[in-house]
């Protein structure tokens, strides 16, 4: 797959690929054009099997216009190859005596009325992924799930329930493995919301952020803000 000249721009707000010599990793926000799917800044998707630009086609399943489904993915998320987001229509009606979707196939079964007899199951139940979330390879995320900021989802997990912030889960169905940090650190990170800061400020915090130094992050932030305030 070759990158077109107009597909890689110096402006990161519109740039498609993260790395100039690789077509496997894309800024997800810039390849998703669907009113029901919202993606934050710097979130990337890596696909080593298919064109990552076809994320909506290949990774958002059972997504039909008018069904009321929505997907929200935060900023600075890392999404591995083959992750699937399941929209609500994938569910069959538990109130029926049969799993077969007769109402959906009402053109054949003319005794049924589509609106009256076909249950859309969990219609309108969206999926929400927080910020700075790491989703491992071939994870399946079911309708109605919320994944908190800073969480991590293990490879090939099936996420059927909400995942708290800064929690690691894995398995089928996904279960709690551990918290990433102690409660005080988690509380401080959720209050900091570094992913909402201007890129200039994030750049100042990075030497401490990437080395797990919360105290250093807060010190750098205080120095940055003091210097900025001194200019006004």
* 53: CATH: 2.160.10.10
Range list of H helices, 32-160 = 55-59, 114-117
Residue 211 falls in the annotated catalytic set: no
Q: Give the least confident one: 20-24, 87-91, 209-213.
A: 87-91
Digit-coded pLDDT (tens) for 30-54: 999 999 999 999 999 999 999 999 9
Residue 163 has pLDDT above 50, yes or no: yes
Question: Would residue 48 count as lying in a domain?
Answer: yes
- Mean per-residue pLDDT, 172-177: 98
Confidence of residue 115 (pLDDT cuts 50, 70, 90): low
Euclidean distance between CA atoms 118 and 101, whole angstroms: 8
Q: pLDDT digit string (tens) for 81-113?
A: 999 999 877 777 777 888 887 766 666 777 877
Q: Select from 134, 142, 138, 133 the least CA-distant residue to 88.
A: 142
Q: Is residue 73 part of a domain?
A: yes
Residue 67 in any domain: the answer is yes
Q: For 192, list phi and psi in degrees, rounded to 5.
A: -65, -45
**In percent, how much of the chain has pLDDT > 90?**
69
Look at the chain and report how many structural domains it folds into: 1
Q: Is the pLDDT of residue 9 over 70?
A: no
Instruction: Kindly tell me if the per-residue pLDDT of 19 is higher than 50.
Output: yes
Please tell me which residue in 92, 122, 211, 232 is annotated as part of the active site. Answer: 92
Residue 16's domain comprises: 5-87+126-180
Q: Is 198 contained in some domain?
A: no
């Amino acid at each position: 797959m070759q990158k077109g000249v107009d597909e890689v721009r110096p402006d990161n707000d519109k740039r498609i690929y993260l790395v100039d010599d690789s077509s496997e990793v894309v800024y997800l926000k810039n390849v998703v054009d669907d009113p029901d799917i919202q993606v934050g800044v710097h979130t990337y998707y890596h696909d080593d099997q298919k064109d990552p630009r076809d994320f909506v086609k290949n990774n958002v399943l059972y997504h039909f216009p008018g069904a009321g489904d929505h997907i929200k993915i935060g900023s600075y998320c890392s999404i591995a190859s083959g992750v699937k987001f399941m929209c609500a229509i994938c569910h069959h009606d538990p109130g029926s005596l049969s799993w077969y979707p007769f109402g959906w196939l009402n053109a054949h079964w003319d005794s049924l009325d589509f609106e009256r007899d076909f249950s859309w199951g969990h219609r309108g139940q969206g999926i929400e992924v927080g910020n700075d979330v790491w989703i491992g390879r071939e994870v399946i995320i079911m309708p109605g799930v919320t994944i908190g900021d800073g969480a991590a989802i293990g490879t090939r997990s099936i996420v059927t329930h909400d995942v708290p912030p800064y929690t690691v889960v894995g398995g089928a169905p996904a279960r709690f493995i551990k918290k990433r940090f102690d409660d005080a650190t988690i509380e401080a990170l959720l209050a900091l919301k570094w992913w909402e800061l201007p890129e200039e400020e994030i750049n100042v915090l990075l030497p401490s952020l990437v080395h797990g130094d919360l105290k250093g992050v807060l010190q750098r932030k205080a120095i940055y803000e003091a210097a900025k305030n001194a200019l006004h």
